[in-house]
Amino acid sequence: MGKSSLHVLKGLDLEIKEGEFISIMGASGSGKSTLLNILGLLDTHDAGTYHLNDQIIENLNEKKAAILRNKFLGFIFQSFNLITYKNALENVALPLYYQGMKRSERNKKAMQYLDNVGLKDWAHHLPNELSGGQKQRVAVARALVGNPKVILADEPTGALDSETSAGVMKLLRQINDEGMTLIVITHEEDIAEMSDRIIRLKDGVIVSDQKVKKVKVKS
Amino acid sequence: MFDLDRWREIFQAISNNKLRTILTGFTIAFAILLFTLLFGIGNGLKNTFKESFAGDAENAIYIKRGKTSKAYKGLQIGRRIQFRNDDYSYMIDEFGENIQYITAMYSKFLKIIYKDENSMNQVRGTHSDIQFLEEIEVDEGRFLSQFDIKRRAKVVVIGRLVEKDLFGRRSALNKYISIDGFNYKVIGVFSDPGGDNDERYLYAPISTIQSIYGNTDYINSIRLTFIPTLSNSQAIAFGKKIGQKLKVKHNIAPRDQSAILIQNMAEASKGVGVVMWGLNIGIFIIGFGTLIAGIIGISNIMVFVVKERTKELGVRKALGATPKSIVGMIIQETILITTIAGYSGLVVGVSLLKYLKPTLEKYFLKNPSVDIGLLIGATITLILAGLIAGYLPAKRAALIKPIEALNAA
């Protein structure tokens, strides 16, 4: 493993407030995934400062990072990253296991979140028995179950068809409406349009930062 | 520290990843099984060798008489040497401190009669120590006592097969049998693991036999065991010393090799010792080699197991697993699998050895078995090897950035 470093992000100044729904856009190689990984404490930045929940993030070791991730962050991945040998309920309950919650309690809570994403009846199915959209909804439930401050989604609809994508985005919208901060990475314009604010990256710098005009259709 | 939740996680991981579990377990179980079988067979070989060459009385010395091969002090060549009672007492006087048991022997082949049954058997006139020089186990009654010898009692201790031949199923104890026309009281019946021949002997006081047959003080041979504290070389020197002294006593040329025949088991066991040492080294190499093979096997598998799980570990880390919990989970899982597998291998190996014992004994492998402490030690070694082999990659996996783990194929 060579340790050659590559400057991906070159001077970013970005503030994300609580309750915002942001999408980060850019071509591949623009640095959007790197930004998300740094925000999610999955990767480390080597220059500059990062404040998460008014707390400066520096010199984190893996243990501290793990605790912060568990407490403040929820992840949604393009490839879902469900544990294949655990059923939907157990996957959702896993963050609670690492919070040290009791088994009966965490199963109850996980079931409640599965119900919220409409998958109560699928609780005891393994990931390979679920459709792509269902898997991503399990992942959403898993990201939410630990009551994080921020949900980070890396191309959450990248592996889904457009109809399913719309369903997942609707679910994310709903979560944001309930007050959750959401950061979504995407390269699809129509997905980004569903958020409140779009940040466009190119070669590691922000090229635009604009609010989305609300054309909310109340149902 | 018992954490039920942790164990649940582990059981789930084990039972839902059967191939991985079986692969890990099989390596350990197979290594222990092989170790047990090879060691058992090696031990069987050793036992056979020990039994056939070393014998039971490893410290025995037989003294027999012969004819002179050299003229000496005016005595002619070819003179037959005769031992007498005073040779027996001379041995005790001269070498008493090195002697454990000693007996003189004066044997006759005689006709034995009880009622209508009769047979020809060897009647051995001996001292009472013969009981410990031969492997005599008294089944009924008692053996000859020093008192019997002193008072020239007409008593006899008969072999199990003599009793069977003359008495059928009845007990011979306290019955009188006729030996060459004289009545002897049967005071005991013995068995001898040495075989059928040894169980057809009759033992009577040497004094009785001497007085009845020729009223002599002749003896045919002397048998003794030296005290077990003598080292092999001391014992060999002791045997030589006996020969020298007896040659002087009987006016035999010092270099005459055929007048007095001394058979010293210490000399035989000297060679046996070297072969045993070689066998032990061979067994050790076999066992050690098996163990090394097992260690390498389990190490490879652990590296593979952790590599295969890298992505899962990344997910767990993203969800808040600390490095410690990751390492702990893998270690605990490894201990569980290897302990169960090691134990199974041990049980199967030991049972197989037991089951194969009769077959193996046909192929001259006596009592093929392995010391259970040794087996447990071998199992623990393999478990530790699996632990170390699992710990290093697990530690590395726990410390890499979750994003690298997630990106792993």
- Domain A21-42+61-211 in CATH 3.40.47.10? The answer is no
Q: What is the pLDDT of residue A218?
A: 47
Query: Which among A44, A70, A85 has CB closest to B320?
Result: A70
Alpha-helix residue ranges (DSSP H) falling in B61-129: 85-95
Shared domain for B115 and B225, answered yes or no, is yes
* Ranges B143-147, B257-261, B300-304: which has the least confidence: B300-304
First to last CA, chain A: 53
What per-residue confidence (pLDDT) applies to A5?
Answer: 62
Q: How far apart are CA A13 and CA A15, in angstroms?
A: 7
- B311 occurs within a structural domain: yes
The more confident residue out of B366 and B66 is B66
**Same domain? B221 vs B275:** no
pLDDT tens per residue, range B332-366: 888 888 888 888 998 998 898 888 887 877 777 77
pLDDT of residue B117: 87
Contact B319 A43 (CB under 8 A): no
**E strand or H helix at A213, and its extent?**
none
Q: What is the residue range of B33's domain?
A: 4-53+271-407
CA distance B361 to B89: 44
Q: What's the pTM? A: 0.65
Chain B residues lying within 8 Å of A82, measured CB to CB: 315
The model's pLDDT over B131-187, given as tens digits with 9 standing for 90+, comes to 888 878 899 899 999 999 999 999 999 999 999 988 888 888 999 999 988 999 999
Q: Do residues B122 and B187 both lie within one domain?
A: yes
Same domain for B46 and B89, yes or no, is no
Q: Give the DSSP letter of residue B117.
A: E
Say if the Cβ atoms of B8 and A75 lie within 8 Å. no
Does B237 reach chain A within 8 Å, measured CB to CB? no
Distance from C-alpha of B359 to C-alpha of B356, rounded to nearest angstrom: 5
Is B278 a residue whose pLDDT tops 50?
A: yes
B317 touches chain A (CB under 8 A): yes
Per-residue pLDDT of chain A (219 residues; tens, 9 = 90+): 344 566 777 778 888 888 999 999 988 878 888 888 888 888 888 888 888 888 888 878 888 888 888 889 998 988 889 998 899 999 999 999 998 889 899 999 999 999 988 899 999 999 999 998 899 889 999 999 988 989 999 888 888 888 888 888 888 888 899 889 999 998 888 888 888 999 998 888 888 888 887 655 544
> Do B199 and B327 lie in a common domain?
no
Number of domains in chain B: 2
Same domain, B100 and B23: no
**Does residue B59 lie in a domain region?**
no
| Mean pLDDT of all residues in B189-218 | 85
Cα(B314)–Cα(B326) distance, rounded to whole angstroms?
10
Q: Using 50, 70 and 90 to split pLDDT, how confident is the model at B399?
A: confident
The sign of the dihedral angle between the CA atoms of B15, B17, B23, B24 is negative
Residues B105 and B11 in one domain: no
* Cβ pair A168, A140 in contact under 8 A: yes
Residue B188 pLDDT exceeds 50? yes
Please tell me whether residues B151 and B21 are part of one structural domain. no
Q: Is residue B58 part of a domain?
A: no
Closest-CA residue to B65 (of B265, B263, B205, B235): B263
Q: Is residue B125's pLDDT more than 70?
A: yes
Q: Which of residues 4-33 of B touch A (CB under 8 A)?
A: 4-5, 8-9, 12-13, 16-17
Task: Tell me the mean pLDDT in the region B365-388.
Answer: 83
Closest in A42, A69, A97 to B5, CB measured: A97
Check A98 against B316: CB less than 8 A apart: yes
Indicate the domain borders of chain A: 21-42+61-211
Tell me: do B298 and B232 sit in the same domain: no
Q: Report the candidate in A146, A187, A192 with the shortest Cα–Cα distance to residue A172.
A: A192
Q: In this structure, how many other beta carbons lie within 10 angstroms of the beta carbon of residue A140?
A: 25
A174-178, B21-25, B112-116, B273-277: least confident range: B273-277
The helix/strand/coil state of A82 is coil
Residue A88 near residue A119 (C-beta atoms within 8 A):
yes
Structure ipTM: 0.87
Whether residue B94 is found in the same domain as residue B236: yes
The pairing of strands B117-126 and B202-205 is parallel
B322 interfacial to chain A (CB closer than 8 Å): yes
Structure tokens, B28: 């350990």
Residue type, B272: V
Q: What is the DSSP letter of A179?
A: T
**Residue B322: which of A42, A63, A95 has the nearest Cβ?**
A63
Write down the mean pLDDT value for chain B.
Answer: 85
Mutation target vs A (from B10, B11, B312, B319; most A CBs, 10 A cutoff): B319
B302 shares its domain with B244:
no
What mean pLDDT do residues B195-204 have? 86
d(CA B311, CA B409): 7
Query: If contacts are CB pairs under 8 Å, which of residues 139-168 in chain B contact chain A?
Result: none
**Is A186:A168 a contact under the CB 8 Å cutoff?**
no
Residue A27 C-alpha, separation from nearest chain B C-alpha, in angstroms: 19
C-beta separation of B323 from A66 below 8 A: yes
Same domain, residue pair B221 and B343: no
One-letter amino acid at B222 equals I
